Amino acid sequence: MSRTGRVGRHDVGSRVPEPVTGLPGDMPTSVNNTRSTLAVVAVADPFDQQRRMRALARVDLLDQERRTDRIDEAAFLMGREVERIFEGMSRISGSSQWWQSDHVDAATQAELATIMGLEKAWKVNSFLRWIVRHVGGTDARLLWLILGHRFSFATAAAALFNRRGVRGLRYARDRFADALTRLAEVKAAHGRVR
């Protein structure tokens, strides 16, 4: 069994063993589970965190880009961070209906929720400014469309660059990989985001 180092879950080589019971051969497929969305990945052994083993996992766009080596591990992790921030943007709330409660401290909770929402919005705006400063507005919008709105590369290419077909798909995919790689390099050079 291999020892973990600076390798990711998509670095499944001959040194990562199969589970004792094996992997399922025929998986039932549905709209959400198709052969293109399930893949073998390396995960930490639950009994020994220093060892890795193979498992089936649902893969998304970032996983697919990493598995095909279009992005490296640092860009993959940066993409996960960008995706997490964009997902958090959809849940920023600054209001609550404190007047519909019979608790005395409901107004205080509403004020706290508003302050927490403002703080979260400030962090998101700071992160967006950091992205725009290092990759530009167009690539920031590309990241937002693909990681935030879950657009495909072809749809994002048509929306942003007015390029359709295979050429547009390849152009958007290359710019996406370049933007994530650039953000990962900046983060590695400065040691932090922002």
Reported as a single tens digit per residue, the pLDDT across 36-73 is 677 777 887 788 877 877 777 778 889 889 888 899 99
Q: Are residues 78 and 27 in the same domain?
A: no
Do 90 and 137 belong together in one domain? yes
Residue appearing with tokens 């095909």: 68
In sequence order, which residues have a C-beta less than 8 Å from that of residue 185 and are 6 or more positions away?
74
Whole-angstrom Cα distance, residue 151 to residue 26? 30
The parent domain of residue 31 ranges over: 1-59
Q: Are residues 74 and 101 in the same domain?
A: yes
Give pLDDT, residue 21.
66
Banded pLDDT at 102 (limits 50, 70, 90)? low
Same domain, 106 and 158: yes
Q: Considering the entire predicted model, what is its pTM?
A: 0.73
Residues 104 and 40 in one domain: no
- Number of helices (H), then strands (E), in the chain: 6, 2
Question: Same structural domain for residues 174 and 101?
Answer: yes
Amino acid letter, 5: G
pLDDT at 105: 61
pLDDT of residue 5: 44
pLDDT digits (tens, 9 = 90+) for 130-182: 999 999 999 999 999 999 888 999 999 999 999 999 999 999 999 999 999 99
Do 161 and 172 contact (CB within 8 A), yes or no?
yes
Pick 176 or 111 by higher pLDDT.
Answer: 176
Same domain for 100 and 43: no
> Last residue of a domain, which of 59, 78, 101?
59
180 and 104 in one domain?
A: yes
- Alpha carbons 150 and 155: distance in angstroms, whole number: 10
CA 48/CA 38 separation, integer angstroms: 25
pLDDT tens digits along 5-32: 456 776 676 677 776 666 666 666 666 6
User: Same domain for 15 and 109?
Assistant: no
Please answer whether residues 184 and 80 qualify as being in contact, where contact means their C-beta atoms are separated by less than 8 angstroms: no
* Domains: count for the chain: 2
What is the identity of the amino acid at 167?
R
Q: Do the Cβ atoms of 7 and 73 come closer than 8 Å?
A: yes
On whether both 20 and 46 belong to a single domain, the answer is yes
Instruction: Supply the DSSP symbol for 91.
Output: T
148 Cβ contact list (under 8 Å, min separation 6):
83, 86, 87, 89, 90
